[in-house]
Amino acid sequence: MDRIVTTHRLRKVCEPSPIWTLTTLDEGGLPAPVNTLVPGVWESIPGLKTYRGHAVYEKKLTCGGTLRFVFGGVSFRAKVFLDDTLLAQHYGAYTAFDCLAEDVPFGQHTLRVEVDNLFGGDSALHVPNDYYSYGGINRPVTIEQLGSAYITQLHVTPKRRGRMWLADVSVTVRSLSDEEQVIDVEAKAGPGSISWKHRTLPAKADITLTATIAAPGVSPWTPDQPRLYNAEAILWLDGEPADDLCDRFGFREVKVDGAQLLLNGEPIFIKGVNRHEEYANFGCAVPVEAMMQDVQLMKDLGCNLVRTCHYPNDPRFLDLCDQLGLMVWEEGHARGLSLENMQHPNFMEQTMTCLTEMVAQHWNHPSIVLWGCLNECDDVSDEGASIYRQCFQKLHELDASRAMTAALLDRTGSQVLADPDVVSMNLYPLWYHESDPAAHMAKIKTWVNEHGGAGKPFIISEIGAGAITGYHDPFGQAKWSEERQAAILRRQITAAMENPEVTGIILWQFADVRVDESWFYNRPKCYNNKGLVDEYRRPKLSYATVKELYTK
Ligand code: ADA
């Protein structure tokens, strides 16, 4: 299941059975091929907990015709072959990619995916970091059967005009034929619909059809009442329905008005958590049941937003946020990269590709209210600041219907405070330094105001403290005890909520996550232990504290 919504009723889609053969190729791997489940990461397999290297996934398929293979995510370099023919290559674990095999003779074929998770070389974004870069096919794989043309994209953008709602609809159709075709296209978005008749689709080309349609009588999407609507595009060839693409969307508007962030015209205060897409031994191949439980836990905590630190998430998680009413700050992949990291020859290309794929693939999710990029990268040097500006501009060009931001490091010297729609900063008073949270927030906000960020919404995009599950100090004094974490969070959250210049707070972090072994010094068990719940979602004492403050 690659989504929790139906995406095709006409197009034939199959999900191959989940057992694949995995062969590791480098030292530290397994002596013989093993069976494994896809999606999954190889670190779940006994003996491969720390394997970093090359591996081959293979799957025998009985199929034929024109096939489209869709990979939800492969961590983190992939080469896809059908019977030794290279179909596609992709870099980066957290966005989907597809490939076509045309006129495949019906019969048995082998789908082979060469994967590696080796740092260095051409990799600018996956570096040893304060989270783990796993190896494997971490998100679902689907196989689609196509005809001479198919719909590649259906984007619906809600618009508010006073009390009226409209929907901008955009449908892209791609020809796989050597000949020009005449097509009809029909699109529905909630109560509205539109038809385009007798359009010419040139040979082997794309066309995009756009329209604005009225949506009378609809209810808006809000975290309390997350009303969703269906969208559908149908392609007709020779008078017959030939292909379709369906999705869900919601009517909601995100606007920045001075220092306020408005949802459907109402100011919002963000009560959020940061969540890495990771679950205990399953790594970044999170089972959908665990995704659902995470969203339910966040709602139970009283959260209205989750930040997908530090990369785009599985669309099933976003579907669940749409469904249950949890706003999302989704961000491109990049954490804590220095100027030197950002000068890697592939950095710009990989960063821009990730942003472009993220926005195009997750466009319709009403839960996404903020796009983010470049967590705690270099925003101090001229070159770093210019890269931030290029990313902000890119996000606006891709989608101006949402606000954009970046979580900046708590330091003076940032040159980009005037550039994002929303200024966001990661602060750790009482954990990395002993400052009083209220005084520290006031000091930082004054500095932000004096250096270009005045009059914009200000979000504390990370704040928190560590605790090891089960380690107790009834006096609440010992660092890493559950009591000390709860006490620190109480002061941090209270300070943020009492500061009228703060637009929201996003706690670091929802759940404990594995980190790269090179980070072991400050990270007991090689985990970032600042979760409100541990990696198995067992609540720490801080869970109750946050719930008390967030639901008050
Ligand atoms: C940073 C960073 C997070 C995490 C956190 C921490 O703010 O953005 O990824 O490393 O610090 O735990 O120190």
Segment 449-475, tens digit of pLDDT: 999 999 999 999 999 999 999 999 999
- State percent of the chain over pLDDT 70: 100
Over residues 351-372, mean pLDDT: 98
Distances (CA, A) of 324 to 298, 304, 524: 10, 10, 34
Question: For residue 21, what are the β-bridge partners?
Answer: 35, 58
Atom number of ligand 1 nearest to Cα 466: 12
Question: For residue 329, what are the β-bridge partners?
Answer: 307, 370
Measured from the CB, is residue 512 less than 6 Å from ligand 1? no
Q: Tell me which residue has tokens 């950002």.
A: 342
Residue 1: pLDDT band by 50, 70, 90 thresholds? Answer: confident
pLDDT for the residue 163: 87
Exposure b/e, 487-509, CB count within 10 A at least 16 = b: bbbbebbebbbebeebbbbbbbb
Residue 535: pLDDT band by 50, 70, 90 thresholds? Answer: very high
- The residue whose C-alpha atom lies closest to atom 12 belonging to ligand 1 is 528
Distances (CA, A) of 316 to 1, 6, 277, 404, 447: 9, 11, 12, 22, 39
Q: What tens digit of pLDDT does each residue of 152-206 get?
A: 999 999 999 988 999 999 999 999 999 999 999 999 999 999 999 999 999 999 9
CA distance 241 to 232: 13
Pair 496, 441: CB distance under 8 Å: yes
pLDDT for the residue 122: 98
Residue 391: pLDDT band by 50, 70, 90 thresholds? Answer: very high
For residue 250, which of 318, 162, 331, 329 has the smallest C-alpha distance?
318
Pair 26, 84: CB distance under 8 Å: no
Atom number of ligand 1 nearest to Cα 528: 12
CA distance 546 to 543: 5
Sign of dihedral through CA atoms 478, 479, 484, 488? positive
> Which run of H or of E encompasses 406?
strand 403-409
Atom number of ligand 1 nearest to Cα 530: 12
Pair 179, 173: CB distance under 8 Å: no
Pair 540, 532: CB distance under 8 Å: yes
Q: How far is the CA of 130 from the centre of ligand 1 (A)?
A: 7
Task: Measure CA 23 to chain center.
Answer: 29
pLDDT for the residue 104: 97
CA distance 91 to 116: 10
Measured from the CB, is residue 375 less than 6 Å from ligand 1? yes
Q: What tens digit of pLDDT does each residue of 42-79 get?
A: 999 999 999 999 999 999 999 999 999 999 999 999 99
Measured from the CB, is residue 528 less than 6 Å from ligand 1? yes
Q: How far is the CA of 536 from the centre of ligand 1 (A)?
A: 20
CA distance 214 to 500: 38
Burial of 133 (0-12, 13-18, 19+ CB in 10 A): buried
Measured from the CB, is residue 431 less than 6 Å from ligand 1? no
Pair 313, 284: CB distance under 8 Å: no
Pair 176, 205: CB distance under 8 Å: no
Classify strands 403-409 and 422-426 as parallel, antiparallel or unpaired.
parallel
Q: What tens digit of pLDDT does each residue of 477-520 get?
A: 999 999 999 999 999 999 999 999 999 999 999 999 999 999 99
- Asked whether residue 320 carries a pLDDT value surpassing 90, the answer given is yes
Domain ranges of the chain: 12-146, 149-249, 254-551
Measured from the CB, is residue 509 less than 6 Å from ligand 1? no
Ligand 1, residues 489, 508, 515, 529: which to mutate, most atoms within 8 A of Cβ? 508
Q: How far is the CA of 309 from the centre of ligand 1 (A)?
A: 10
Strand, coil or helix: 514: strand
- Residue 189, phi then psi, degrees to nearest 5: -140, 100
Q: Average pLDDT of the chain?
A: 98
> What fold, for 12-146?
Jelly Rolls (2.60.120)
Ligand 1, residues 376, 433, 488: which to mutate, most atoms within 8 A of Cβ? 376
Measured from the CB, is residue 329 less than 6 Å from ligand 1? no
> What fold, for 149-249?
Immunoglobulin-like (2.60.40)
What does the block give as tokens for 288?
Answer: 């959908």
- State percent of the chain over pLDDT 90: 99
Exposure b/e, 427-464, CB count within 10 A at least 16 = b: bbbbbeeeeebbebbeebbebbbebebbebbbbbbbbb
Measured from the CB, is residue 331 less than 6 Å from ligand 1? no
Q: Could you tell me which residues come within 8 angstroms of residue 500 by beta carbon, excluding any fewer than 6 positions away? A: none
Range list of β-strands (E), 117-269: 141-146, 149-161, 164-175, 181-189, 192-201, 206-214, 229-237, 240-249, 254-257, 260-263, 266-267
CA distance 351 to 24: 29
Pair 422, 396: CB distance under 8 Å: no
* Superfamily name with CATH number, domain 254-551: Glycosidases (3.20.20.80)
Q: How far is the CA of 24 from the centre of ligand 1 (A)?
A: 32
Classify strands 504-507 and 458-462 as parallel, antiparallel or unpaired.
parallel
Residue 275: pLDDT band by 50, 70, 90 thresholds? Answer: very high
Question: For residue 462, what are the β-bridge partners?
Answer: 426
Q: Is the peptide bond before 76 cis (omega within 30 degrees of 0)?
A: yes
CA distance 402 to 337: 25
Measured from the CB, is residue 426 less than 6 Å from ligand 1? yes
Rounded to two decimals, what is the model's pTM? 0.98
Atom number of ligand 1 nearest to Cα 309: 9
DSSP state of 314: P
Q: What tens digit of pLDDT does each residue of 221-241 get?
A: 999 999 999 999 999 999 999
